[in-house]
Copies of this chain bind each other. A is one copy, B any other.
């Protein structure tokens, strides 16, 4: 069902309308009138006759005309009954302002479940509860109590009213861009993030979507929708609640689930979302992405009228992974013809006073630079906009000339120009002109650099999305195999929540994972026979449902070379296990071939609160234990995505061979991760899987130990 009856509502009932100027029930009506809402307004309050010149109704049921949307501005305990009336009236949407629901837990949570049930039953889609409201700017449908929201093409989804206020205030004071929608998602009891996202994706007036989120309720659906949205418009997102204190604050604020912060950031990245860590970058990046052509390569030029700005910008862009390539010879010759001899004509360019008497030279330089085939965009840093203020008034006109030319240049070249100006605060006309041409201007050099990075990141996301077979999907239809399900069911039937090592490996083998040939030896004689069959050095490990940590129980022996060693090992392992856990059900020993040389890695899976099953990859040993050098992906994970996980860890170079060791088989790891993803999807009963260690050889890999834990 479309959300048109909410966002394009032709009539609104304000339930809890009031004559008290301090109440939302008054303010909303006043703002709707002042902002020239195009539809009809129906105040509802049993105690009043008229409010602000409008007839006031006892109940929505007393209104004769069709009502699309209800703003419910009454306390929590009244909401259920009101929704029932709205349902009877055939109202399609409701915005529930009151707090006191799920964010309080316990009783509030039950109340929230009740109102969701009522809304669903009555066919009402609901924003909130505990929301700051919604605005559809184009038709003046403003249910937030916040006036003068600049109209533009950014759709804003937020879990905080004050963050929205920050963004709107910033837009109004510093930009010519604005918003077409504002939704305070509140507790997301009915409509979820991904549904708003879907609506805005199909909205032709929306060019970018800006999201402030503390925790997602339906993370997987959100990812799926985001990776579709990405194909036509960018999503800029700040996820807070990353720290313990922040997450506690978010919990008390929106009742949001925090989840594991590394999982969230990799999930967003995979879905092509532009994530932002600092709130002061949110609006600038959304503004830039909704205004400028994208960067299709990471190569830009920096044009500066001072060495300091050039150096700082070069440093920061380098840290952000943006390249500053050499110019073509022709470019250098043409620049040399218009700039003084002491100008620096390498990238970054320092005009060294070359624009002091004529700042229109900025436009000349921009034209030359954007014609260079090595250069895909331009960052101008420094004084532009301030020449008329700082030096001589007439220079302002030359700056305006340059602004017109650079504005048109972006359009003809389809290459972006981003500007930093330390005179942005002084609001010179030339900078307004640039904004008119969709060239944003920032007073923070660092924020301007972050905008350049975002233009590249979104450009790359789009390119990858178009090259890939598809976007993130909730599932790939992996199916359980009967023998696999039997292993799991067997364990559950025995009351076990853990698969034995050989069961876990067998499950993996059924799905095409190459596992070592292990044999369960029930006694010493069998062990000797199996070791002979395997040949070479062998490993022996205790098998018992009662012993989870085999090493701790003295249950592992490595590098056994001959019959005598195997016999001794079997006796010692069993004795040691009995001593460790008297009465343990000992099935015997697993006999396997010693794994060859290679690099130790770990592959695991777990269930994330926001995103469901995720897979984790890291190098073994202290790298994972001390440095937490691991990467995550939300399942399902393709081999291609798995390859990017492997590349992502900081110590990835170890896999390419260090200290004279050969490179190891990364392809085999990626295949393993994809298979694991398949197994996790096929058997929802699996709660956690831990392949640790996996030895990756020059060719292939050996899963030395596998542990699978089942859900309750």
Binding site for B on A (CB under 8 A): 22, 99-100, 158-163, 165-166, 169-170, 173-174, 212, 214, 238, 240-246, 248-250, 252-254, 278-280, 304-312, 314-319, 324, 342, 344, 346-348, 350, 357, 382-383, 386, 390, 422-423, 425-426, 443-447, 621-623, 625-627, 650-651, 653-654, 658-659
A279 near B445 with CB under 8 A, answer yes
Question: A307 contacts B447, CB within 8 Å?
Answer: no
B307 with A160: CB separation less than 8 A: yes
Are B173 and A426 in contact, CB atoms less than 8 angstroms apart?
Answer: yes
Given A279-B445, A651-B627, the answer on whether A253 and B344 have CB atoms closer than 8 Å is yes
Could you tell me the distance in whole angstroms from the C-beta of A17 to the nearest C-beta in chain B? Answer: 20
- Contacting pair B314 A246 (CB below 8 A): yes
A355–B174 CA distance with the chains assembled, in angstroms = 27
B311 x A240 contact (CB < 8 A): yes
Are the C-beta atoms of A654 and B622 separated by less than 8 Å? yes
Q: Which residue of B is nearest A132, CB measured?
A: B306
Pair A626/B658 contact, Cβ less than 8 Å? yes
> Judging by beta carbons under 8 Å apart, are B214 and A311 in contact?
yes
Provide 6 A-B residue pairs closer than 8 Å at the C-beta atoms, listed in order of the A residue. Answer: A163-B308, A241-B315, A245-B347, A279-B312, A279-B446, A622-B658
Are the C-beta atoms of A425 and B253 separated by less than 8 Å? no
**Are A423 and B253 within 8 A (Cβ)?**
no
Check B445 against A357 for contact (C-beta < 8 Å). no
**Are A344 and B249 in contact, with the CB atoms below 8 A?**
yes
List chain B residues, Cβ under 8 A from A347.
245
Q: Is the CB of B307 within 8 A of A249?
A: yes
Q: Which residues of B contact A426 (CB under 8 A)?
A: 169, 173
> Given known contacts A162-B306, A162-B309, is B214 in contact with A246 (CB within 8 Å)?
no
In contact, A319 and B253 (Cβ under 8 angstroms) = no
Q: Is the CB–CB distance between A627 and B625 below 8 Å?
A: no
With both beta carbons as reference points, the residue of chain B lying nearest to A147 in the complex is identified as: B390
On whether the beta carbons of A627 and B627 are closer than 8 Å, the reply is yes
Check A245–B324 contact: CB distance below 8 A. yes
Chain B residues positioned under 8 Å from A625 (CB to CB):
658-659
| In contact, B252 and A307 (Cβ under 8 angstroms) | yes
Chain B residue numbers with a CB within 8 Å of A161 are 306, 308
Task: Known A173-B426, A627-B651; judge A309-B163 contact (CB<8 A).
Answer: yes
Query: What are the residues of chain B within 8 A of A254 when measuring CB–CB?
Result: 307
**Please, which residues of chain B bring their CB within 8 A of the CB of A445?**
279-280
**Which residues from B are CB-within-8-Å of A241?**
311, 315
CA gap between A163 and B313 in the complex, in Å = 12
Q: Is the Cβ of B622 less than 8 Å from the Cβ of A246?
A: no
Pairwise interchain contact A314-B99, C-beta atoms closer than 8 A: no
A316 to B252, CA, bound (A): 18
Q: A394 CA to B259 CA in the complex, in Å?
A: 43
Which listed residue (B160, B165, B386, B659) contacts A422, Cβ 8 A?
Answer: B165
Q: By the criterion CB–CB under 8 Å, are A350 and B249 in contact?
A: yes
- Establish whether residues A425 and B173, one from each chain, have CB atoms under 8 Å apart when the complex forms: yes
State the Cβ distance, A170 to closest chain B Cβ, in Å: 7
A565 → chain B closest CB, angstroms: 21
Residues of B within 8 A of A305 (CB): 162
Residue of chain B at shortest CB distance from A158: B308
The answer for the CA separation of A315 and B238 in the assembled complex, in Å, is 12
Across the interface, which residues of B come within 8 angstroms of A447, CB to CB? 280
Complex contacts, A245 vs chain B, CB 8 Å: 314-315, 317-318, 324, 347-348
User: Which residues of B sit under 8 angstroms from A318, Cβ to Cβ?
Assistant: 242-246
* Cα distance A622–B309 in the bound complex, in angstroms: 37
Across the interface, A162 reaches (CB within 8 A) one of B163, B307, B357, namely: B307
Knowing that A169-B423, A245-B314, A245-B318 touch, tell me 5 more A-B residue pairs with CB under 8 angstroms: A160-B311, A163-B312, A169-B426, A280-B447, A626-B653
Most chain-B CB neighbours within 10 Å: which of A309, A347, A382, A623? A309
Chain B residues in 8 Å Cβ range of A350: 249, 252-253
A314: contacting residue among B243, B306, B626, CB under 8 A:
B243
Contact assessment for B246 and A315 in the assembled complex, using a CB-CB cutoff below 8 Å = yes
- Ranked nearest first, the 3 interchain pairs of A and B with the lowest CB-CB distance are A160-B308, A162-B306, A253-B307
Could you tell me the distance between the alpha carbons of A348 and B247 in the complex, rounded to whole angstroms?
11
Q: Which of B169, B174, B246, B346 is close to A311, meaning CB atoms less than 8 Å apart?
A: B246
A319 to B347: give the CA distance in the assembly, Å: 34
In the docked arrangement, what's the CA distance between A252 and B342, Å?
10
Known: A160-B308, A173-B425, A653-B626. A444 touches B280 (CB 8 A): yes
Contact of A163 among B306, B346, B425, B622 (CB under 8 A): B306
Q: Which residue of B lies closest to A652 (CB)?
A: B626
Cα distance, A232 to B90, chains bound together (Å): 73
A342 close to B99 (CB less than 8 A):
yes
Known contacts A305-B162, A310-B253, A344-B253; is-contact A319 B383 (Cβ 8 Å):
no
- Chain B residues with CB under 8 Å of A650's CB are 626-627
* Cα separation A160 to B315 with both chains bound (whole Å): 15
Q: Which residue of the partner chain B has the closest CB to A599?
A: B622
**Residue contact A253 to B311, C-beta cutoff 8 Å:** yes
Bound complex: CA A310 to CA B246 (Å): 8
Alpha-carbon gap, A628 to B607, bound state (A): 33
The answer to whether B315 touches A240, judged by C-beta atoms less than 8 angstroms apart, is yes
Would B346 and A248 count as touching, CB distance under 8 A? Answer: yes
Cα(A348)–Cα(B250), bound, Å: 10
Asked if B446 and A308 sit within 8 Å, CB to CB, the answer is no
A551 and chain B: residue at smallest CB distance: B660
CA distance A383 to B161 in the complex (A): 11
With a cutoff of 8 Å between Cβ atoms, the chain B residues found around residue A446 in the complex are 278-280
A162 to B316, CA, bound (A): 17
Contact of A312 among B246, B319, B651, B658 (CB under 8 A): B246
Contacts of A654 in B (CB 8 A): 622, 626
Interchain CA distance A447-B443 in the complex, whole Å: 14
Q: Which residues in B have their C-beta under 8 angstroms from that of A99?
A: 342
- Chain B residues contacting A246 (CB-CB under 8 Å) are 311-312, 314-315, 318
Residues in B with CB closer than 8 Å to A238 are: 312
- The residues of B that contact A169 with a CB separation of less than 8 Å are 386, 422-423, 425-426
CB-CB < 8 A to A170: which residues of B?
422, 425
User: In whole angstroms, how far apart are the Cα atoms of A319 and B241 in the complex?
Assistant: 11
Complex interface: chain B residues within 8 A of A317 (CB): 245
Per the bound structure, the CA–CA distance linking A254 and B309 in Å amounts to 13
* Bound Cα distance from A315 to B425, whole angstroms: 29
Question: Which residues of the partner chain B approach A444 to less than 8 Å between Cβ atoms?
Answer: 278-280, 444
Residues of B within 8 A of A160 (CB): 306-309, 311
